Amino acid sequence: MLRLRERRATQAQVVERPGEDSPCKAIPTYQEFPPNDRQLMAATTRAQATPPEERALRRRGAARVVGVDISGEMVSVARAHEAERPLGIDYIVQDVASLGDLDRFDLAVAVHLLGYARSREELVQMGTGIARSVKPGGRFVTYFVSPDVSRAPGHCRKYGVDCFAHEGVKDGDVFYFSLILGDTTTPKLTNHYWTRATVASAFGEAGLTSIRWITPALSPQGVEQHGEDFWQDYLRHLPDILMEFKKPDA
């Protein structure tokens, strides 16, 4: 199994040139980010999106946005986007589990971060780092592989993702996925499976509570580009899900 930095470096090779025609770009999106003053993006770049999510947050009015990733390669890609089209976003190389000295943010966002945790203890460490960086009353929103992802081979291939999860997968088990971006397919990337109950308890222990599970909805752009029938397999067994936590008021 590749170490986390090495896995993120592998992803960075395809983040730099995402496929413009990938159906992933029309996958349902969470639309409830208000223009808070200060927002933190943990795990800075997402291979299916261009530009990265933190750039979208900045465009929606955030006064300050900071992107964090353990991989220097990922941060280099994000900084290249920023240099090409400056928005005033800061990017740093740091482990999410050791956050806490950056600032206090109104909102923290992470995309496919939790699957890198190899144990419940590492989930708690991630949650603790994020909780230290969020103001009392602030939120943490994360997008990650759904515990209900289909085990059927090739289920999500036409949507730009190939998931290899076996029947009987349980907390902490390794499974793999590949991203299909135009003509480019990544090597199999390592992920770890986590149930709703384990994620909720680990992040509750870290100081993030009031969990809310959010089922993505198909965007009008997705219907316009591909039609409703195209998305039925995706919606029947959603491969990804959103969670929102809050840090209790002091």
Q: What is the residue whose two structure tokens read 């990922």?
A: 74
In the chain, what are the domains? 4-148+194-246 (3.40.50.150)
For residue 239, name the pLDDT band (cuts at 50, 70, 90): confident
Bridge partners (DSSP) listed for residue 163? 177
Q: pLDDT by residue (tens digit) across 168-215? A: 899 999 999 888 888 888 888 899 999 999 999 999 999 999 899 888
Alpha-carbon distance of 29 to 195, in angstroms, equals: 22
Query: 178, 161 in Cβ contact below 8 A?
Result: yes
* 230: its two tokens: 């195209």
Residue 11 confidence (pLDDT) above 50: no
* 67: its two tokens: 């992107």
Query: 222, 146 in Cβ contact below 8 A?
Result: no
Q: pLDDT by residue (tens digit) across 25-34? A: 444 443 334 4
E strands along 44-188, which residues? 64-69, 90-93, 105-111, 134-145, 161-164, 174-181, 184-185
DSSP 8-state code for residue 163? E
